[in-house]
Amino acid sequence: MLVGEIRILVVTPSEDREAPVIAHLAHCPMVCEVSYHALSYTWGNAGDTVEIVVNGHRMQVRRNLEQALRTIRSKEVSMPIWVDALCIDQLNVAERTRQVARMFDIYDRASQVICYVGEHSDETDMALDFVKPMDQLKIEMNKKGEYNIGKEGNKIGPDLYPARCAALYKFMCRPYFRRVWVVQEVAISSDPAVIVDNRKAVAFGSLDAAAYNLQAMIAFNPVLRTQMMSADPQLHQFGLSYDELIFIRKLFYFRHLMAGGELYSPFISPTVRKDSPGFLEAAILTRDFQATDGRDKIFALWNLAQDKEGLDFKLDYNKSRQQVFVDFATAWSRQHGSLDIIAASEPWHNVDDFYSLVPSWCPDWTVPAATSCLVRRERISMRSMRLMDDLDGELYSADGGIGQLRDFEELFSFNKGILNCRGIVIDEIDEIIEDPGRIPSGHVFHPPDPDAFYKFQEWTAAIPKIYKDRGANPYDDPRQAAIAMFHGDVTSAWNRRGQIPEKLEALGARFNKTKEQNAWHHYDCITARSRHIPTHKGPFSYEGRPWFDIVQSVLRGRTLCITKKGYMALLPSYISEKTFDKSWLLAVIATCSVPVLLQEVDSVDGKTVYRFGGTCFVQGWMEGEMLMRPEDSASPAGFWFTDEARRSTLHIR
């Protein structure tokens, strides 16, 4: 095949659905008048194959591909299709590498992208028929107990409503929507359509709107969750969580970005920057997606990333997964003059001995993050996509926001697996606060996540007593600082409404099981200063509660701790669950926007070498406060160009 060509699979028509799939491969120039469809699907089980005929030869393909081709085959005319498994020589590494870089053009030029999500099931018709009414925002109940879903007159009785929600939920949890390659295939397509093997189709935009509405309904209506599981007992084993619908929402979010936020009415103008999504942002948002080849967790995002100009990184299937990830981390850091990418590393999740070959500062993108991400947003907020701004950019500036000044001096370098960077060790972990444990029987907590609500409430109530016992206290109001931290905010983003009742201030036990623990009622968020809470709350939010979808996200995989200098912090739980001979140190590194955990492991040529342990939210550090010096009135970023900072180089392996 010539460099400027692609292969197209032309499927022979058949009126008999059960007839064998027969096709031939044709070469055509990338730029030509040929109209073709592109197939997006999951590869499926490698051991489950069936026979098709291509160019007169019998060949084995995975069953899922054969079913997809059979589904979209026309009865009357030949069907030109681009499908990766057959149109790319999978045994030719050079061709695979070359074609991956071309995916944008291949999917962009396709007349339509057909998203084959799998076989038909009993619930499929019910689920897809329910998408269109769920696309509408109006969901009300009349006096008969019937739900008015969508347009007026579209009434669904209470006996059918939970069953339809359950069917739609199960459909949206299919493996197709978790495949990392699908992200770019949907994002780039001019017209993606979702089909199953009975050829029932639905537009992807309608599916996202339905996912948004169903997500919020499950999150804030625990009665509906119970009704859905009663209607479909399989959900007891299958699981039921509003978070599972985030995969579809992320797929459409990237499509929203690639369209510049212009998929909807011109009168609605969300903020979408031209360089969105960034490569790091895309990698973090898709970290939970799946790939058969681990290298594809980066390669599949190549055509999405809008900030890769100048990135010294090549797609190369000749390299190992470990080498690809190290090369990507170093290339991204050098291109952006930032070490934020190392904050995605969690080296204590050492799958397949990854970190026996790779330095601790390099993220393993094949492993879903065990802790909440602090350097970039990892969640899609529960709001309509038509109102969604892009989520790119740093959340904090623990390094003082040195991005504007970093070109003046070299602040970090990589040498034989060791990261040499300007940074200072400031503190260390002192006390890990006990987990409140299980929710006591007879207690009811706010949806969507009662466990997060309980932990939030208990830790918030315990904080004043903790600081009373310790004596030293760097905060004017520890409870205010804690409430802000549990929402991912700095203290100034939350206001105290007035004097808190004396009996709340007088609580003695760290975990006092009383309703009066609801001290958070006395604080308000200043949304303009919040990192996560939207200024416009949307139809599914309500007053008088913390934002527990945000609290759940921030507290995920983290434990409350106190440092030796008395700062409260959120530590990765995987560190608190292990015993270590050496202390965990808290450091701030130039060009890394969040505090990091380090541990001494070695000494080379008289220099201390550290291992990386993850990130830590430290209340009172997140805006560069620890870099200010009494004798210096300059900005925190200016600290890195002082003699004190120049003498402080950290070596991380």
Summarised one tens digit per residue, pLDDT across range 290-324 is 999 999 999 999 999 999 999 999 999 999 999 99
Residue 155 lies in a domain: yes
Q: What is the mean pLDDT of residues 624-649?
A: 86
Strands (E) located in 396-475:
412-415, 418-432
Lowest mean pLDDT among 60-64, 486-490, 599-603: 599-603
Residue 450 lies in a domain: no
Same domain, 14 and 130: no
Measure the CA angle with vertex 250, ends 526 and 193; round to 5°. 140
Q: What is the mean pLDDT of residues 11-26?
A: 95
- What's the pLDDT band for 155 if we cut at 50, 70, 90? low
Q: What does the block give as tokens for 47?
A: 């051991």
Same domain, 30 and 145: no
- The answer to whether residue 162 scores a pLDDT higher than 70 is yes
- The answer to whether residue 96 scores a pLDDT higher than 60 is yes
Report d(CA 121, CA 114) in Å as an integer.
Answer: 19
- The answer to whether residue 475 scores a pLDDT higher than 90 is yes
DSSP state at residue 651: E
* Nearest alpha carbon to residue 280 among 591, 572, 595: 591
CB 44 within 8 A of CB 65: yes
- For 371, residues 6+ apart whose C-beta sits below 8 A from its C-beta are 346, 556, 557, 558, 572, 573, 574, 614, 615
Same domain, 112 and 136: no
Q: What is the CA radius of gyration of the chain?
A: 27
Same domain, 230 and 176: yes
- What's the pLDDT band for 513 if we cut at 50, 70, 90? very low
The string of pLDDT tens digits covering residues 332-356 is 999 999 999 999 999 987 777 899 9
Same domain, 50 and 129: no
Which amino acid would we find at residue 197? Answer: D
The string of pLDDT tens digits covering residues 533-577 is 877 654 444 344 557 788 999 999 999 999 999 999 999 999 876
- For 325, residues 6+ apart whose C-beta sits below 8 A from its C-beta are 298, 358, 362, 363, 364, 365
Residue 338 lies in a domain: no
402 backbone φψ class: left, alpha, beta (φ>0; ψ -120 to 50): alpha
Q: What is the mean pLDDT of residues 53-60?
A: 96
Task: Residue 8: count other Cβ atoms within 10 Å of its Cβ.
Answer: 21
Same domain, 252 and 134: yes
Same domain, 31 and 77: yes
- Model pLDDT, residue 535: 73
pTM for the complete prediction?
0.91
Q: What is the mean pLDDT of residues 256-266?
A: 81
Residue 61 lies in a domain: yes
Lowest mean pLDDT among 5-14, 78-87, 216-225, 628-637: 628-637
Residue 580 lies in a domain: no
Residue 175 lies in a domain: yes
Measure the CA angle with vertex 574, ends 287 and 565; round to 5°. 115
CB 173 within 8 A of CB 238: yes
* Nearest alpha carbon to residue 285 among 216, 215, 410, 184: 184
- What's the pLDDT band for 512 if we cut at 50, 70, 90? very low
Report d(CA 380, CA 342) in Å as an integer.
Answer: 22
CB 115 within 8 A of CB 35: no
Same domain, 110 and 164: no
CA distances from 408 to 26, 223, 240, 322, 403 (A): 54, 58, 52, 32, 11
Q: What is the mean pLDDT of residues 164-181?
A: 95
Measure the CA angle with vertex 412, ends 411 and 418; round to 5°. 160
End-to-end CA distance of the chain: 44
Q: What is the mean pLDDT of residues 56-66?
A: 95
- Model pLDDT, residue 581: 80
Q: What percent of the chain has pLDDT over 90?
A: 59
Residue 94 lies in a domain: yes
- What's the pLDDT band for 289 if we cut at 50, 70, 90? very high
* Nearest alpha carbon to residue 119 among 70, 192, 168: 70
Phi, psi of 615, rounded to the nearest 5 degrees: -115, 165
Residue that finishes a domain, picked among 221, 240, 258: 258
- Model pLDDT, residue 261: 83
Within 73-203, residue ranges assigned H as helices are: 84-87, 93-100, 103-109, 124-134, 161-172, 180-188
Q: Do the bridges between strand 192-195 and strand 112-116 make them parallel or antiparallel, or are there none, so unpaired?
A: parallel
**In the chain, how many domains are there?**
2
Same domain, 112 and 133: no
Residue that finishes a domain, picked among 89, 116, 143: 116
Tokens 């990333």 appear where?
Answer: 305
Same domain, 64 and 161: no
Residue 168 lies in a domain: yes
Q: Do the bridges between strand 523-525 and strand 494-496 make them parallel or antiparallel, or are there none, so unpaired?
A: antiparallel
The length of the chain, given as a count of residues: 653
Q: What does the block give as tokens for 545?
A: 């509660």
Farthest-apart Cα atoms in the chain, separation: 85
- Model pLDDT, residue 575: 87
- The answer to whether residue 494 scores a pLDDT higher than 80 is yes
- What's the pLDDT band for 406 if we cut at 50, 70, 90? low
CB 595 within 8 A of CB 398: yes
Within 450-592, residue ranges assigned H as helices are: 450-470, 478-486, 502-505, 548-555, 573-576
- The answer to whether residue 152 scores a pLDDT higher than 60 is no
- Model pLDDT, residue 543: 44
Residue that finishes a domain, picked among 94, 116, 138: 116
- The answer to whether residue 517 scores a pLDDT higher than 60 is no
Q: What does the block give as tokens for 161?
A: 């409503």
CB 67 within 8 A of CB 199: no
Report d(CA 595, CA 590) in Å as an integer.
Answer: 10
- What is the CB-side half-sphere exposure of residue 126 using CA atoms within 13 A? 16
Which amino acid would we find at residue 395? Answer: L
Same domain, 105 and 130: no
CB 307 within 8 A of CB 320: no
Range of the domain at 100: 5-116
Same domain, 192 and 128: yes
